[in-house]
Chain A
Amino acid sequence: MVNTEQFRRERLDRGIKIRTDGLYALMSWRELSYLTLPRLILIVGMLLLPLIVPGMYWQKVVTILCIYALLAISFDFLAHYVGLVSLGGAFFIGAGGYLAAILNSTYGFPPILTIPIATLVGAAVCTLLLLPCLPLRGVYFAIVTLMYPLVLARIIEALDILGGTDGIVGVDSFANRWVEQYAVIAMVLLALFGIRRLVNLDIGLVFRAVMDNDQAVRASGMNISYYKAIAVFIGSALGCLGGACLVHIYMWCGISLFALDFSILPIAATVIGGSGTLVGPVLGCLILVPISELLREFGTLRIVFYSLILMGFIVFRSEGLMVYGERKYHQFQRWVKV
C-alpha cells in the first residue's frame, strides 16, 4: 500500500524565547541565562583556549586562528552588511603587516605603537586605493581587491623594495607569549561585539541601506561613496590590525603576507559559520584553522580543501552552521500531517 499521507515540517519558537524578548528577560535567572549563556560560552571559551590546548605549537595556532577570525569578521561585515565582497583579505594583512614591520625595524617603534599606527594608516591606505570602485555596484570591488595582493606581491618581488623576496627580518615580538595570545583574543572579542553593535546603530542601518538600495540612499541626499568608504575603512582596519599583529608574532614580514590563504580561508570560514551572523565567521575559523594545521604537510592541497568545502557549503548549505544552531536553540520542529 502506498502511503499517501504527506508531512510538512513545522517550526515553533520555544516558550522561553518569547519570554526573553524585551524587558521580560530580566524576570528570572532561567531567562537571563538563556540569553547570556551562548555569549558567555564564547567569551569564556575563547579566554580559556590558550590554557587548554596542548603545547606551545597549538598555542601559536590559537594566535593565528584569532588573526584569521579578525579577517573573517571583516569579510562578513563588508559582504553582508555593506554589500562589498572582498576577495583580498591578504591585501589588508599585507598593508598592515608591512607598515608595522617598517615602523618597527626602520624607526624602532615598539609594538604597542606600531600596531595602532599600522592599523589606522593601513586602513587609510587601503581605503584610498579602493576608492575608485566604491561608487559602483557589482563585481568591481571583488575584482579590484582580488588584484591588489597579487600585483603588490609582484611589484615588491620585481623591484626588490621593502626587503624583496627575503622580507623584513628582525621585527620585535610581543613581551611574552601570554601577552601575545590574550592581546589577539581580546581584539577578536572586541571586534566581534563592536561590529555587532555597530551594525545595529543608526550608521549601521545606513550601511545596510546602501547594500539594499543605494538609489534611495542617494535620493535622501547622502553620498553613498562616503558611507562605503567609512565601511571599507572599518573593515580594512580589522584586516590591518590582524596583519600588524601577525608580523610581530612571526617576527618577520615578507610577501607571503599576500598569500592566498589570507584571502580564501576567511571567506570559507564565513560561509561555513554562517553569513551575516558575525559570530559565525569566528566559529568557522575555530573549525577550519585547526584542520588546516593538521593538513599542513599536504601543502597547497589545503587551499583545494577550503575551496571545495566553501563551494559545497555555498551551493548546498548556504545558511551556515551558526544560523542552523540558532534555529535549533530558539525553535523546535515537528512533523505535522498535511
Chain B
Amino acid sequence: MSEETILKVLNATKTFGGVTALSRVSFEVRQGEVLGIIGPNGSGKTTLINCITGFIKMSEGEVMYKGKKISGKSAHKIADMGITRTFQIMRPYYTLPAYKNLIIPLFAPRAKRTGGWRGGGKLGDRDTVSVDILEEIGFERDSFVPYKIASTLPTGYLKRLELARCLALKPEIILCDEVFSGLSMSEIASMVPLIERLQMDGITIVMIEHRLRELFQVANRVMVLNFGVKLVEGTPEEVMADEKVKEAYFGSQEVEEVMNYA
C-alpha cells in the first residue's frame, strides 16, 4: 500500500428533487488500499458510488482519478478507465449460463485492450478465459456450477459473479456495493480471503458494507456517512472510538459487539 492518491472526491453533492442525498462529501482513496464506507441505511452510500461511477450526475462537486477529472463523463467511459462497480441488487444476465455472463465484459474495449488473461484477450477464446476467471473467484471449475443458467444460481455465487464481472475488465479500482449482504456466515468467511487476495494483486477496493466485523478485518481505512454527510474517516479503531459514530449507530448492537471485539 502506498500513500499515492488514486481517486479523489471533492464536495460531492447530490439532491433528488428536494431531498439531499449527499452533501459536500470529500475523501481520497489511496493506491492499493481497502477503504470501507459505512453508515446507517439511507445515508447516501450507494448514491456516492453511483456518482463516482457516473450512473448519476452529481449536482455539485468533482471526482479526480489519477489527477484527471472524471465527473461528468458517462458511465461506460469511467468503467473503461478502470473504475468498476458491483450492484447492490445483483444484476446478472439471467438467461445466460454463468460463464457466458463473463463473455460480455470480456468483449468490452477495456478487456480487449488490457487482455492477457493467460492467452485470452484480443484473439483468445473468451469461453476458456471466463471459466478461468470464475475459478479464480471461487466457482468450482470441474463442477457444473459455471455452466448453470445464472437465474438458478444461489446468492453467494451471484455475488461472486458480480465480482468476476469486474475482474474481467482488469480494473484499477473496484467499488463493491454490499457484497457481504444476504450471505451466510460461512459464505462471508470465504469471501474475506478473496478480497484480501484482490488487494494483494494491487487492486484498490472501496467497500460499502453493513457487516462491520468482516469489513474491519480487511479494511485499511474506514469512512462513516450519515444523512449524506461525512462524519469521520480513519483506521477502524479510530472510527469506532469516535463519539459521533456511536451517536449515529446509537443502540446498534453490532457496534457494541465490534467495539468489544476490537
A residues in contact (CB < 8 Å) with B: 202-203, 205-206, 208-209, 212-213, 215-224
Contact = CB atoms under 8 A, between A and B. Distances in A.
A209 B108 CA distance: 12
Contacts of B93: 205, 208-209, 212-213, 216
A215 B91 contact: yes
B233 to A, nearest CB: 26
Interface string B91-103: 1111110001001
A220 B79 contact: yes
| Size category, B interface | 20 to 34
Given A209-B104, A215-B55, A221 B96 contact: no
B55 A222 contact: no
A219 B79 contact: yes
A323 to B, nearest CB: 15
Given A215-B55, A218-B55, A206 B107 contact: yes
A283 to B, nearest CB: 23
A278 to B, nearest CB: 16
Contacts of A223: 74, 76
B109 interface: yes
Contacts of A202: 103, 106-107, 126
A205 B104 contact: yes
A213 B162 CA distance: 13
Residue from A203, A209, A220, A222 with most neighbouring chain B CB atoms (10 Å): A220
Contacts of B84: 219-221
A222 B109 contact: yes
B95 A212 contact: yes
Contacts of A222: 76, 79, 104, 107-109
Contacts of A217: 104
Nearest to A224: B76
A183 to B, nearest CB: 34
A223 B73 CA distance: 12
A217 B109 CA distance: 12
9 contacts: A202-B107, A205-B96, A219-B75, A219-B84, A219-B165, A220-B104, A221-B81, A221-B108, A222-B79
Interface in B83-142: 84-85, 87, 91-96, 100, 103-111, 126
A20 B169 CA distance: 36
B53 interface: yes
A220 B96 contact: no
B28 interface: no
B103 A221 contact: no
Contacts of A212: 93-96
A38 B55 CA distance: 46
A14 to B, nearest CB: 22
Contacts of A218: 55, 74-76, 79
B96 A208 contact: yes
B166 to A, nearest CB: 8
A209 B105 CA distance: 10
A10 B185 CA distance: 39
